[in-house]
Structure 1
Amino acid sequence: MAKILLTGGTGLVGTLLETKLKEKNHEIVILSRNPKKEHHFKWDLKKNYVDPKALENLDYIIHLAGAGIADKKWTEKRKQELIDSRVLSANLLFEKIEENNIALKGFISSSGIGYYGATTSETIFKEKDQPAKDFIAKICIEWEKAAHQFQNLKVPVTILRTSVVLSKDGGALKKMNTPLFLSALGSGKQYLPWIHIEDLCNMYVKAVEDSSFTGIYNASSPEHQTNLSFTKVLGKVLGKFVTPFNVPKFVLKLVVGELAVIVLQGSRVSTEKIEKVYNFKYESLKKALENIYK
């Protein structure tokens, strides 16, 4: 049994992950700006504060905290918030771990396949590939840099570059199951990497329980889908009509602004590395969606 500090513990992934970790008899403490449960403890980035009780006898940190990439339009203020919510929080954790001389067994962090950029290409991106130079890549670069600093304390680091997470409890599918998104977006030829939330959470559990599971991994299903093929499978599973007309780029840009790029562009990512150490429960989109909706 390990004691695990979880940030972003009340979010979509964090909620299921907490349940799975508790089922494995791990002790979970969650950092929150407004703690309301016994195992929730306060932290405050502006005041550089983490409740010391959350750090007692700590073994692992799983860092999921971060403002939602697609929750709001990308104003300059929002862009900075997207970076700071990930990076400053990791920096604060690093500072407290170093300050209290805590011998962590591992720092496990989320990141995104946005590391490779919002681009549509024939490249199947591998973990060793260089990052892109656009804004979505910048978020991931700074995010991962903040995680890697724990290596200076000789703490093993695991980073999961996560694709679109599919869940019955919200997230991307809630937005996709609407008239606007039950159509091909733009050309429809852009790839849409995805992962079932259960597979993603299982990877985090593995990172805690398998000491060899360190480094950077693409957390994405092995099955490649374009925006158009994804939409067709979703419509079929839902029993809903998928409109034969593509949503023009300018319409999406009017609706969501600059962040439209994350749905109008997309490339495949390689799962060769993760498949060597993890067996997917949901490899096909059809199977994943049927689990969620039926």
Structure 2
Amino acid sequence: MIKRALKHTFTLLNVDHVKLGSKWNYKNVISPYFRIYYIDGGAGEIWDSSARIKLEPGFLYIIPSFTLCNLVCPHYLSQYFVQFFEESSDNISLFEKNRSILRVKAAEIDILNFARLLEINPGRGINRSDNPRVYEKNIFYNEYRELNNRQSMSTFTETHGILLQLVSRFLTAETFKHKDAGQVPVKILNAISYIQLNLQHDLSVTNLAKRANLHTDYFSRLFHQHTGERPVKYIHEKRIERAQYLMVTTQMTFSEIAAQTGFENIFYFSKIFKKITGMSPGNYKKQMDQASF
């Protein structure tokens, strides 16, 4: 018998129904968590480097983690939203190859699912203050973890099931461009997993090629062929993604984050961070203070 197991799990952060105005206007937002919106009134826009998408009633939208986007509401927007973290057995995101905003027509079950999420997870909104700077991030994230820990097994399981259902709406052949993992050599898959699990350690291309028992040049070409990126660029992107997560969920200093993500010093960390995100670590943290909550 062939068994197929889910490698990805999703953990609730926030869920709410909100009515927004012109103050909902943020540029260059990059979050370490996923967002799904269901629009039930008004209009807005979100866009990334590849497309500009209207937010309009009757549609679902997903913004995968670490997807650079802009959010704007000209006048009025009514939306259900859910924010959640992703974990996977191999530390590779389900949306690794789909870091872009996706949109699908909402079905009745989607509306029911949002209503049910709100019903079984009361008090999980983010409307605690008009000033986002009042939050200490580690307190905020410890609070959401504690809320999840206090859920009954029934509620925890149902919440995860609903999140899986909502995510599944974007995994159709028409919407989701998924590359069959079976086409990727095992040695490259192992290298990707090793990178994700060892970001704080030495990840030179020479060492990665040696682990795969391949010549360095051949390993680099093979890696690029199956990931679309050279190993060094890929490693830098994963390290910066991890740094973004730590900046949002902890109170670690930039020097501590640089060490935790494998950069030899804060100056090199800042250089690569700005090269990938387009902003300095300080500006990124300031932006997240203003936009995330």
Q: TM-score, normalised by structure 1?
A: 0.22
Question: TM-score, structure 2 length as denominator?
Answer: 0.22
